[in-house]
Structure 1
Amino acid sequence: MSQQRTRSRNPFKILFTKKNNARLSPKLLSLLNNFETNLTVSIRELVPKDKNDIVSVSWMIQAMQSLCETHKSIRTLVKDLEVPVSDLEEDFIYIFSDFSLKRELCNAFTSEIYHLEHGNLLLKFAFSKLETNSGNILQRWNQHMVSKNPSIENWGAVLSRLVESMDHHHHISKKGKKKYSAEGKVLLRVLYGVKVKTLYIFSVFDASFSGSSKNLFYLTIPKEMEELPWVQAFMELQNTINPEIKNTFLSGGFTVIKDLEAVETGVKKLYTAVQEGSVPILLVEPLEKSVIELSERFELVSKETRCLSKMVISARDALLESLWTKCAEELGVTLPTMVKSVNIEEKS
């Protein structure tokens, strides 16, 4: 199994220098520092403290919660920045495509969770039929888990398109013709950090669900970005997680999701016991408990993934609404009120 070494290209070199920060107004500098401080903390909190957390369903829940909060912060930041329309004329399609691709992957991950939940339902049914044909049901579970969700085949292409959207910024910076306002520079800088965090976590989810590390990214940070506050935490995150995932696949592991791996081990033992005509209660009870807990945790992953999907669209709409309002101001006209794509229920 291989992992993709992807260079996290720098959209605008000038955005990442301390000298450039000195040119920002106190308000913009405060907004930038607060956002990047929170981004750093959120990434650092995702660094597993123990090998058993790589990759646990609890970590997956935490990762989706973290992404949801980060995109919620983008929505707030966009409203505070009031970026001039001219700043995003060349980037408009790429930025909005980026939001759409994120939502597409959220939907794909949710679909895979439903696939795994179907497997849990088979196990729960098997527990109720231990004295009859549970062996056949356990075989069906194994066949179901080995089968792949068809949508998985498209994940790599979507992730690649997210990488391409980062490369777009690199090509613009090479031209060196575009002049950005201070507000535009702040927005593009924070969007880049968020994209790096999101892309990496999505690649971990891809590896976890697909059973392959071929789309697991190792994002190389350019030297001119090394002083950004979140970079060190991010490098620690991927340097902690990637080797463990790679080693799991190299050793022929069933899955990198620890909770699911434990269930799979228990099912093997149960199937052997059923074939031998004895079903020890000491084997069944902990396995049944593990399956119930796994179902509950997968539901939380699904819930947080749906939250992220909604928040991604909310952040996109906030940016569009801000540009719409700014455009009206610059033209000196009154434009009709925008209709938002979704209603977001704030997380308590």
Structure 2
Amino acid sequence: MDETSDGVTEIHRDINNLIADLEIPLIDWDDKWLDVYLDISVKLLDISVAFTSEITRLNQSHLLLQCVLHRLESHSPEQFMQACSLLDSWRQHIGTKNPRLETCHPILHNLVESLNLPKVRNSAKGKVLVRAMYGAKVAIVYICSVFAAALSGSAPNLLDLSVLNTLPWASVFFDVQTTVNSDARKMFSCGKFTGLRELDAVDACVKTLYPLLQHRFGSNEGEWFRNSVSDLRTAEELLQGLDNLSKAVDGYFKIVWTGGYALLCNLRTSVGVPNSMLGRKVEEQAVR
């Protein structure tokens, strides 16, 4: 998933570079162009914060698993009971919904409702910019919906976007969206705990190990128990994946923030830009 997040960062960086390359004077920027760029930037910052919150929560759950493994090393019945209690805490922690992550659904649907291609007149560069921002918005919103579905384990977070058939990339996008959504929904229908493969593996291990500890089976109860403990150590793969994902999301947050902030600063310092250019909506976005 971190590679996908890197791809989203590249899309946003490419838009920032395109804005610079086109050299469209800010005085010529249409309000609609600003709305498209700033609106998606602010909302995606909110989504990035939600993703970071969930990654932090999952990292906290990993600490519980580390405590479990430490207790199991003692081979003491008392320590085994504590390990059982910690596994129960892990199950409760991981099964709790993250309120911040829940905010992604309405934000994404709000972005979908505003998914349109503004008409541009008498500006060839403006047409290039608006079409590029439209394509970037489609790609980023969809990818974020996949992230939201994977992290929340909720298929409803997956979006089925409709785009203009006349666009040269429309058929490719539809093919990718159909394949990914079909596979994801099939996976969730099979009772998968989440869209994260490593977390699913840990959850399956906990489901095996917890009843053994609950019934006070010790390490001398057979190879099955020892294998379950060994499998739990694969949680390190989840930790590494979360670390990579956290860095990718952080990098994306920075590129979105710096791009939007730079644009607002340029708007405020440009000579001759009318006050109406900023508008109340842009002011509100700047405050957020």
TM range (shorter): 0.7 to 0.9
Query: Partners of 1:65 and 1:90 in 2: how far apart?
Result: 28
**Aligned pair in 2 of structure 1 residues 186, 263: CA closer, same or farther (>3 Å)?**
same
The question of 1:116 aligning with 2:58 is answered yes
After superposing the two structures, state which structure 1 stretch, 204-213 or 81-90, moved more.
81-90
**Aligned pair in 2 of structure 1 residues 185, 319: CA closer, same or farther (>3 Å)?**
farther
The question of 1:305 aligning with 2:249 is answered yes
Q: Does the CA contact (< 8 Å) of 1:83 and 1:323 recur in 2?
A: no
Which residue in the other structure is 2:7 paired with?
A: 66
Which residue in the other structure is 2:232 paired with?
A: 287
Shift of 1:223: 2.0
Q: Does the CA contact (< 8 Å) of 2:61 and 2:93 recur in 1?
A: yes
- Return the letter of the residue paired with 2:84: G
- Return the letter of the residue paired with 1:278: G
**Aligned pair in 2 of structure 1 residues 319, 189: CA closer, same or farther (>3 Å)?**
farther
Q: Does the CA contact (< 8 Å) of 2:53 and 2:101 recur in 1?
A: no
Secondary structure, counterpart of 2:227 in structure 1: helix
The question of 1:214 aligning with 2:163 is answered no
5+ long unaligned stretches in structure 1: 1-59, 332-348
Secondary structure, counterpart of 2:71 in structure 1: coil
Q: Does the CA contact (< 8 Å) of 2:112 and 2:161 recur in 1?
A: no
Q: Does the CA contact (< 8 Å) of 1:155 and 1:206 recur in 2?
A: yes
Report the TM-score when normalising by structure 1.
0.69
Which residue in the other structure is 2:165 paired with?
A: 223
Secondary structure, counterpart of 1:219 in structure 2: coil
Report the TM-score when normalising by structure 2.
0.82
Q: How does 1:173-188 map to 2 (within 5 A)?
A: 173=119, 178-188=120-130
- Bigger relative CO (Cα 8 Å, ≥ 6 apart): 1
Q: How big is each residue's C-alpha offset from its partner over 1:164-197, in whole Å with a ceiling of 9 and x where there is no partner?
A: 3324x4xx54xxxx52411111111111111111
**Aligned pair in 2 of structure 1 residues 79, 91: CA closer, same or farther (>3 Å)?**
closer
Which residue in the other structure is 1:243 paired with?
A: 182
Residue identity over aligned pairs, in percent, reads 33
- Return the letter of the residue paired with 1:98: I
- Aligned residue pairs: how many? 260
Query: Partners of 2:273 and 2:150 in 1: how far apart?
Result: 48
Query: Partners of 1:192 and 1:270 in 2: how far apart?
Result: 49
**Aligned pair in 2 of structure 1 residues 106, 62: CA closer, same or farther (>3 Å)?**
same
Query: Partners of 1:75 and 1:324 in 2: how far apart?
Result: 18
Query: Partners of 2:177 and 2:272 in 1: how far apart?
Result: 44
Query: Partners of 2:122 and 2:69 in 1: how far apart?
Result: 62
Secondary structure, counterpart of 2:228 in structure 1: helix
Q: Does the CA contact (< 8 Å) of 1:71 and 1:312 recur in 2?
A: yes
The alignment's C-alpha RMSD in Å is 2.2
Q: Does the CA contact (< 8 Å) of 1:135 and 1:271 recur in 2?
A: yes
Q: Does the CA contact (< 8 Å) of 2:198 and 2:237 recur in 1?
A: no
Shift of 1:320: 4.3
Which residue in the other structure is 1:314 paired with?
A: 258
Shift of 1:150: 1.3
Q: How does 1:1-348 map to 2 (within 5 A)?
A: 60-84=1-25, 85-130=27-72, 131=76, 132=79, 133-167=82-116, 169=117, 172-173=118-119, 178-225=120-167, 228=168, 230-276=169-215, 277-279=217-219, 280-288=225-233, 290-320=234-264, 327-328=270-271
Secondary structure, counterpart of 2:161 in structure 1: strand
- Return the letter of the residue paired with 2:174: M
Shift of 1:231: 3.1
